[in-house]
Amino acid sequence: MPVVLRIGPYRLFFYSNENDEPPHIHVQRERALAKFWLRPVALASSTGFSARELTRLSRVVQENAALLVEAWNEFFGAAR
């Protein structure tokens, strides 16, 4: 499970066996977990985060989208 970025209490990562899905990132803080699509940035799913925190996380993912897509492409290849 490659960790791409850590920001404060958040860990942004993807699972190494998810190359059959479009580029996305998981965000975890303690037991809370969210999944964001990267093209375009959109919330796919979430458990344990408040709406306010998800808004903040969406902004973090948007601000780092280029880096996150680059990490995805480096790991899985740029086929998508």
Count of beta carbons in the 10 Å neighbourhood of residue 78 = 10
Average pLDDT over residues 27-45: 97
Average pLDDT, the chain: 95
- pTM, full prediction: 0.93
- Give, in degrees to the nearest 5, the angle at Cα 33 between 59 and 46: 75
Distance CA 21, CA 7 (A): 24
38 within 8 A of 65, measured Cβ to Cβ: yes
When computed from its CA atoms, the radius of gyration of the chain, rounded to whole angstroms, is 12
- Reported confidence tier of residue 79, pLDDT bands at 50, 70, 90: low
**Segment 11-27 mean pLDDT:** 95
